[in-house]
Chain A
Amino acid sequence: MASLKDLRIRITSVQSTKKITSAMKMVAASKLRRAQEAAEQARPYAQRMESMLGNLAAGAVGQDGESDLLSGTGKDDSYLIIVMTANRGLCGGFNTNIIRSARQMIRDLQAQGKSFKIFTVGSKCRDNMKREFADHMVGHFDEFGRTGSSFAEAEHVGQSVMAMFAAGDFDVCTLIYANFVSAMTQNVTRQQVIPFPVPEVDAGDDAATGGGYEYEPSDTEILTDLLPRNLAIQIFRALLENGASEQGARMSAMDSATRNAGDMIDTLKMTYNRTRQAQITTELIEIISGAEAI
């Protein structure tokens, strides 16, 4: 049985752990508020962009000179997987879930005999992917969110992806990130961005979409402008969603860690008191039996 001194040391150490986790929870909560706001404010642009693309693409599909970003290269032999995780750990299953989904996808691709390349965002997934797939890594980016102009950063990622696509390095590009639902729930999402899946246009809405529009300059020219921009926007949105998810996951992980530490302190205190009581009783018995013997 542990001595009283050992127990005391144990209790103090758990208490300081609890202080740290609860402080981390507070920090994550305030960062979450900011990240969630940013993610929500970015949604209108992405939505409007999508509806605009939907209108345009509905008319443009099947036309000559259609962009490869929309129709694909005509094959799906090689994939680019953009995996996004956090830069730091201590956020529950957040990083692990994303990496697991990425591995699953890689394994499926390997089974089908397709080739793949990996672009990582966030140092956690780079470190993890490097162990197994170092030969397939084509790029990395982990500066997101450290400076103010974050859209420029997403654009930068978008540009390097575009350059690889233009060079014919891959046919299909998929983003893997966690979509933010609430502080408790984040869904790991696989989103295909190249070729861009044409959003469904309401069939009944025909007059309002497609044919009714006038284009300035021409629909194909607008598409050539719009598609690379849409790629950057989708990456930007994924980065923001991921940022909010990370903070949410960290907050709930730290919350349960704080609660666990509390429970642990309770049981340790109980053992401590019992041991102390037992020790006093033993001492008393010794004194009494000593006195009786005289």
Chain B
Amino acid sequence: MADTLQLELVSPAKLLMSESVGMVVVPGIEGYFGVLPDHMPLLSTLRPGVVSVHDGVTDAPAKQFFVDGGFAEVNPEGCTLLVDEAIAIDEITADNIAERRSAAEELIQSAETDGDRAAAEKALFIVEEMARAMAEAAA
């Protein structure tokens, strides 16, 4: 049995990461799930949350990214995550969050159609999740 799997983290603008890793924990729409090598084929949508990459040697995650939703595909070759945006967790700052929050709140205020409002509320939800992820990482 292979002891690593190929993880690919892709955003529309570029291929963010392509590495062999020991395990990856993914924020699926129905809850976090871990992917180990030889996982069964799976397709899932993602919710905003933290992707933890484990190297399989140490207990603590080697890398953590905040993603704002997207799709995950697990197949025998590895795990592919298609996301809109991924930020390394230690690069999130309080300023960053405050800025996004005020932008999202402004959007909610100025939204005219239901579609706009739903999009703005989703943006705000992502910001809240991001703030929580940062707080957890700091704790």
Interface positions of A (Cβ within 8 A of B): 38, 41-42, 44-45, 48-49, 52, 55-56, 150-151, 154, 159, 208, 212-217, 219, 221-222, 225-226, 233, 236
B10:A216 contact, CB within 8 angstroms: no
A191 to B11, CA, bound (A): 22
A52:B43 contact, CB within 8 angstroms: yes
Q: Can you report 7 A-B residue pairs in the complex whose CB atoms are below 8 A from each other? A: A38-B13, A45-B12, A151-B13, A208-B75, A215-B44, A221-B45, A222-B43
B76:A208 contact, CB within 8 angstroms: yes
A221 to B45, CA, bound (A): 9
Specify which chain A residues have a CB less than 8 angstroms from the CB of B125 in the assembled complex.
Answer: none
Other A-B contacts than A49-B82, A217-B44, 19 sampled, CB-CB below 8 A, are A38-B13, A41-B13, A41-B14, A42-B12, A44-B15, A45-B11, A45-B15, A48-B73, A48-B80, A52-B80, A151-B84, A208-B41, A212-B41, A214-B42, A216-B42, A216-B44, A222-B43, A225-B45, A236-B12
Specify which chain A residues have a CB less than 8 angstroms from the CB of B43 in the assembled complex.
Answer: 52, 55-56, 213-216, 219, 222
CB of B2 within 8 Å of the partner chain:
no
Tell me the dominant secondary structure on chain B's binding face: strand
Knowing A38-B13, A41-B15, the reply to whether A216 touches B45 (Cβ < 8 A) is yes
**B4-23 near A? 1/0 per residue, CB < 8 Å:** 00001011111100000000
Residue of B nearest to A154 (CB): B12
A45:B44 contact, CB within 8 angstroms: no
Specify which chain B residues have a CB less than 8 angstroms from the CB of A217 in the assembled complex.
Answer: 29-30, 44-45
Specify which chain B residues have a CB less than 8 angstroms from the CB of A208 in the assembled complex.
Answer: 41, 75-76
Specify which chain B residues have a CB less than 8 angstroms from the CB of A214 in the assembled complex.
Answer: 40-43
Q: How far is the CB of A266 from chain B (nearest CB, A)?
A: 46
Q: How far is the CB of A217 from chain B (nearest CB, A)?
A: 6
B14:A42 contact, CB within 8 angstroms: yes
Knowing A48-B80, A48-B82, A216-B30, the reply to whether A42 touches B42 (Cβ < 8 A) is no
Q: How far is the CB of A215 from chain B (nearest CB, A)?
A: 5
Within 8 A of A (CB), among B51-86: 71, 73, 75-76, 80, 82, 84
Q: How far is the CB of A7 from chain B (nearest CB, A)?
A: 53
A54 to B29, CA, bound (A): 21
Q: Which of the residues B11, B13, B45, B76 comes within 8 Å of A222, measured between beta carbons?
A: B45
Q: For chains A and B in complex, what number of residue pairs have CB atoms within 8 angstroms?
A: 75
CB of B48 within 8 Å of the partner chain:
no
CB of B28 within 8 Å of the partner chain:
yes
Tell me the dominant secondary structure on chain A's binding face: helix
Q: How far is the CB of B57 from chain A (nearest CB, A)?
A: 28
The tally of residues in B whose CB lies under 8 Å from a CB in A reads: 24
Q: Which of the residues B11, B14, B29 comes within 8 Å of A216, measured between beta carbons?
A: B29
Q: How far is the CB of A40 from chain B (nearest CB, A)?
A: 9
A219 to B73, CA, bound (A): 12
A231 to B49, CA, bound (A): 24
Q: Among the interface residues A55, A150, A216, A225, which one has the most CB atoms of the partner chain B within 10 A?
A: A216
Specify which chain A residues have a CB less than 8 angstroms from the CB of B76 in the assembled complex.
Answer: 208
A41 to B10, CA, bound (A): 10
Specify which chain A residues have a CB less than 8 angstroms from the CB of B40 in the assembled complex.
Answer: 212, 214
Q: How far is the CB of A260 from chain B (nearest CB, A)?
A: 38
Q: How far is the CB of B34 from chain A (nearest CB, A)?
A: 14
Q: How far is the CB of B35 from chain A (nearest CB, A)?
A: 12
A151 to B80, CA, bound (A): 20
Q: How far is the CB of A39 from chain B (nearest CB, A)?
A: 11
Specify which chain A residues have a CB less than 8 angstroms from the CB of B44 in the assembled complex.
Answer: 215-217, 222
Residue of A nearest to B84 (CB): A151
Specify which chain A residues have a CB less than 8 angstroms from the CB of B84 in the assembled complex.
Answer: 151
Specify which chain B residues have a CB less than 8 angstroms from the CB of A154 in the assembled complex.
Answer: 12
Specify which chain B residues have a CB less than 8 angstroms from the CB of A225 in the assembled complex.
Answer: 45, 71
B14:A52 contact, CB within 8 angstroms: no
